[in-house]
Amino acid sequence: MKDEDKDGALSDSTDAWALWRSFTSARIGLGRVGNAVPTAEALGFGLAHALARDAIHTPLDVAVLASELNAQDWPALPVKSRAPDRETYLRRPDLGRRLDADDRVRLDGMRGEGCDLAVVIGDGLSSAAVARHAVPLLAALYPLLPEDWCIAPVVIATQARVALADEVGEALGARMVAMLIGERPGLSSPDSLGVYLTWAPRVGRSDAERNCISNVRPEGQPYGAAAYRLNWLMQQASALRLTGVGLKDESDHTLPLIDRAGTPRLD
């Protein structure tokens, strides 16, 4: 007979799911007590739901993020979308895709002769993802970039959707734009960062014209692997002058072994 604790959950010695759970944060083999899940699992679900809500509604600390970027020699430039607050942002995705009018004028004035790459960090649907992972990802990316590339100041965008980067890149005259943005929180990953690369950004670009790298975080795709993949895509985009469905991500064929800390392994 299987051993159960006082809450009705199986002990590790008899739980056939214990080994599988050690490899994933997904909720598998939860067990049951009568017609319900064990109390510990119900409480864990409630906590995960609360963390996901916090990730969506907690404002991004732009000043702290800008300071961290400056410490790594990335000049930062804050902007905002046309969504005036979080409630409007959630109800009107279209406003999150367009720059505030004054910020558009300001970026237009900085255009000059354009640049090779513009990086936009958008709060998206998880400020936690941006706060935790954007700077480490850029730290891993920076040494991989060609020395002769002209790179615009990093734009930090609040109340931002993915397509906001199109207008930022257009205003700055960028050949391509990379948007680092907080993804929609899951119940096991409230801090997942996504990266969207678009060649020749301009207002009206579609999602089919972008390449996406998702789940950037130590528990998902490590910084080193994501940076390597992004750089590979940028080099191919420069050669082919396109991104999206026309650019197949074949970086796995050359991806070096990278540990969970994001460090390439040469063995």
CATH number at residue 141: 3.40.50.11240
Range of the domain at 31: 1-36
Residue 140's Cβ-count burial label (10 Å; 0-12, 13-18, 19+) is buried
State the residue for tokens 């237009």. 108
**64/16 same-domain check:** no
Distances in Å between the Cα of 142 and the Cα atoms of 81, 117, 217 are 27, 12, 17
**30/124 same-domain check:** no
**106/190 same-domain check:** yes
From 243, 117, 92, select the one nearest 168 (Cα to Cα): 117
Rounded-to-integer distance, Cα 54 and Cα 127, Å: 9
State the residue for tokens 């007590």. 33
Residue 207 φ/ψ, nearest 5 degrees = -65, -25
Per-residue pLDDT of the chain (267 residues; tens, 9 = 90+): 344 455 545 454 457 788 887 777 777 778 888 888 888 888 887 887 788 787 788 999 999 999 999 999 999 999 999 999 999 999 999 999 999 999 999 999 999 999 999 999 999 999 999 999 999 999 999 999 999 999 999 999 999 999 999 999 999 999 999 999 999 887 778 899 999 999 999 999 999 999 999 999 998 999 999 999 999 999 999 999 999 999 999 888 776 665 555 555 544
Sign of CA dihedral 228, 229, 230, 232: positive
